[in-house]
Copies of this chain bind each other. A is one copy, B any other.
């Protein structure tokens, strides 16, 4: 991969001065220069890095909140707004963003849309395809496509905005977003639980969906390697269940509108789960500070995993019943040379598989790939649950999608971007373009 030169254009709009620069990103497009749209640059698959001579279009200065419809909870903003800033603004108005990620402090909403970000609130509020109400998008020929509606229902023709959600900037550049934001509910409770085996985690998920029903807002899991990693390498954290060591840990969050009732509900669920022996031990956070410590453990895994040396990261969707098998098989396959860590959004069937070694080695990579992709494909999983394909996995798309589907994707790419100037070399293999 050779980077010859990179021209950075900042995009903004609003004032006269800024309107000029708003238009400036259309110049390279009109001149058929290849461009790479770049948000917070927090992606893990190389979706926002230039490969050869592409112009980087940096969206950071398009960070205005345009409007908030307080009756319906609909936020309209520019694509460069940082997720955490949007959430802070909404919280002060009685709403929240329907998505939450570890990278919230730097990722931008345009990037979230372009990568169809999932994250921690997915189990409660679902995917961006359900929450994005409208988009403004710049096409490869410089046309600004106004689909910035704020209606919950609109069945007038094809719902084209979905083409751009998750297409990683390769079909158009998202410049404005309108999004449905749920009401901020006042009562949040968080339990940190231990399970002795993976089957108990699964059964606990099933029971939580039934018993906690409408208040369940997160169901995260991590294995003991993930916990050891965080506690061993991040400062100031300790295991909330210190007396013994368990194989699996689960974080269950509920969010509702009635503090005392919601807490009692979670306590009753925890008690019942312990009586049924689904849960071996557990604790409910007593205050915000303890809750944020619990979350810090879960969210710190990614940060801690790089401290050992090299990390091979995989982001898989799998049927929940099979989800942990790949961690165990990979661990056996690699033996002592690597530590295999499994964690993720169990409630959404999403495993983050991290393989840690002292240093990077082609031999180890050859043992991991294509095995991990073949295994996932064989179980009808997805080789990229929420990280996208970007540059690193563009050639792997056939593990998750049929060749007819990939062919249709390529036709649509060629229709919208005939000169292949939008985020080239990403998402689709060059062989189909």
- Seen from chain A, the residues whose Cβ lies within 8 Å of a Cβ on chain B are 69-73, 94, 115-116, 118, 122, 126-127, 129-131, 139, 143-147, 149-160, 162-163, 165-167, 171, 183, 185, 202, 205-206, 209-215, 255-258, 261, 265, 317-321, 345, 348-350, 380-389, 393, 396-397, 399-402, 404-406, 408-409, 411-413, 415-416, 427-428
Whether A388 lies near B202 (C-beta < 8 A) is no
Inter-chain CA distance A165–B386, complex, in Å, is 21
A157, A214, A385, A386: residue with the most chain B Cβ atoms closer than 10 Å: A157
Q: Give complex CA distance A94, B211 in Å.
A: 12
Instruction: Evaluate whether A382 and B149 lie within 8 angstroms (CB atoms) in the complex, with A183-B209, A209-B73, A415-B411 already known.
Output: yes
Determine whether the beta carbon of B397 is less than 8 Å from that of A157: yes
The answer to whether B155 and A385 have CB atoms under 8 Å apart is yes
Q: Which residues of B contact A393 (CB under 8 A)?
A: 156
Shortest CB–CB separation between residue A344 and chain B, in angstroms?
10
A256's nearest neighbour on chain B, judged by CB, is: B214
Are A145's CB and B206's CB within 8 A? no
Please state if B158 and A171 are interface contacts (CB–CB under 8 Å).
yes
- 8 interchain residue pairs of minimum CB distance: A130-B130, A162-B162, A213-B257, A154-B382, A153-B385, A156-B400, A151-B317, A214-B214
Chain B's closest residue to A264 (CB) is B261
Could you tell me if A386 and B160 are in contact, using CB atoms closer than 8 angstroms?
Answer: no
List residues of chain B with CB within 8 A of the CB of A126. 126, 130-131
Task: Determine whether the beta carbon of B146 is less than 8 Å from that of A404.
Answer: yes
CB distance from A389 to the nearest CB of B (A): 6
Instruction: Across the interface, name the chain B residue whose C-beta is closest to A143.
Output: B404
B256 engages A405 (CB within 8 Å): no
Judge whether A155 and B209 touch: CB under 8 Å.
no
Query: A214-B185, A412-B415 given as contacts; is B159 within 8 A of A116 (CB)?
Result: yes
CB <8 Å contact, A71 and B157: no
The listed residue (B205, B211, B212, B387) touching A71 by CB distance below 8 A is B205
CA distance A157 to B155 in the complex (A): 24
Which listed residue (B210, B397, B412) contacts A156, Cβ 8 A? B397
The CA of A206 and the CA of B404, in the complex, are separated in Å by 46
